[in-house]
Structure 1
């Protein structure tokens, strides 16, 4: 159901080079009864999914490390970011997407995933909903090296870390990716590892 207090007047595409940046002009009925016209920009990159793989016997997690330009231009001196495996849905449902991304990025073929929640990650400017998953892994599930798809320009390093070390890396700032922190904290709160 659409919000009756909002009327979209105009949507202009400002850029569609990589994803789509729209300028949306709309009216909003304010609490005092007045109607105000506002314009905002919204970046539409599609929805995505993220997963944290964990091994209860070894108390380890699988993370990735890759170059992220936006972090580099905002002060991350190396541009490298440690994160949970993630990807855009690309017209798949979230579960199929995250299974595909897990195999491409980490080399692990998983069949059973658990959705834990979904969230808007930057609702002031980005339309994306991110679907969060966890799944157990074992060495027997490793079928490839991972590293991502070359045709997508991916150059991903796969990291297997002790769970406690990953939590320490959050505390030290070595892991500062929101989706990854959320999933690590989920495992901690639920006492999964």
Structure 2
């Protein structure tokens, strides 16, 4: 039996996806025993069996599923004089099926790295989602946002933008990928006041809090 992504190429031309993680040696208390690919339709779901040594010295065998969609990057664009930030609004099916009223989330521009480095990717996503090229960008930090099951590491950036160069309410996105994105220009204090109600996306909350606590709007 042939297995797409393992023995034969999957739809993205990949093989050997069951080898990821087998050679890890950084933690002597963890021994990888087996890796099985469950799906590789576009992203990759794996089941990994491993032995782990506990604090009392005993060992146990564990099995975990991981979802590998690659790493990503996100950016907050800000205008200090106008005290504004540039965000997006778009439909997110996973949020919709898990209780969000309409699935329309307000977010910072973001996307997967694919074959690019983090800065190149975040510049690409800024132009695609906000219709606005950026100059110098600042790398802030990298975070794992759901480390219990998702392998993605998200690279966080910030950059200034020119207040008069943006058309708020315009529509952007890569149409052949099904994107239909609304550009939002919000007062930063208004945006922060919406955290937990109108703004419920984690990466966006983190960047807004950075902006007012230690970033360009810090007092």
Shared fold (TM-score greater than 0.5)? yes
Residue 191 to residue 128, structure 1, CA distance change in 2 (3 Å): closer
**Which of 182, 189, 199 is the aligned partner of 1:157?**
182
Report if aligned partners of 1:118, 1:131 keep a CA contact under 8 Å in 2. yes
Report if aligned partners of 2:44, 2:69 keep a CA contact under 8 Å in 1. yes
CA shift for structure 1 position 4: 1.2
Match of 1:169 in 2: 194
Higher-Rg member (1/2) = 2
Stretches of structure 1 that go unaligned for 5 or more consecutive residues are none
CA shift for structure 1 position 125: 0.6
Distance 1:73 1:154 in 2: 18
Q: CA offsets, 1:112-149, max 9 Å, x none?
A: 10011110000001001000011000046559x56111
Stretches of structure 2 that go unaligned for 5 or more consecutive residues are 1-24
Matches within 5 A, 1:174-193: 174-190=198-214, 192-193=216-217
Match of 1:63 in 2: 87
Report if aligned partners of 1:108, 1:146 keep a CA contact under 8 Å in 2. no
Distance 2:26 2:115 in 1: 23
Secondary structure of the 1:10 match is strand
**Which of 121, 126, 140 is the aligned partner of 2:150?**
126
Is 1:82 the counterpart of 2:106 in the alignment?
yes
Query: TM-score, normalization: structure 2?
Result: 0.83
Distance 2:46 2:59 in 1: 22
Residue 94 to residue 191, structure 1, CA distance change in 2 (3 Å): closer
Q: Compute the RMSD of aligned alpha carbons.
A: 1.5
Aligned length: 191
Distance 2:92 2:45 in 1: 19
Report if aligned partners of 1:109, 1:141 keep a CA contact under 8 Å in 2. no
Runs of 4+ deviating beyond 4 Å: 139-143
Report if aligned partners of 1:48, 1:131 keep a CA contact under 8 Å in 2. yes
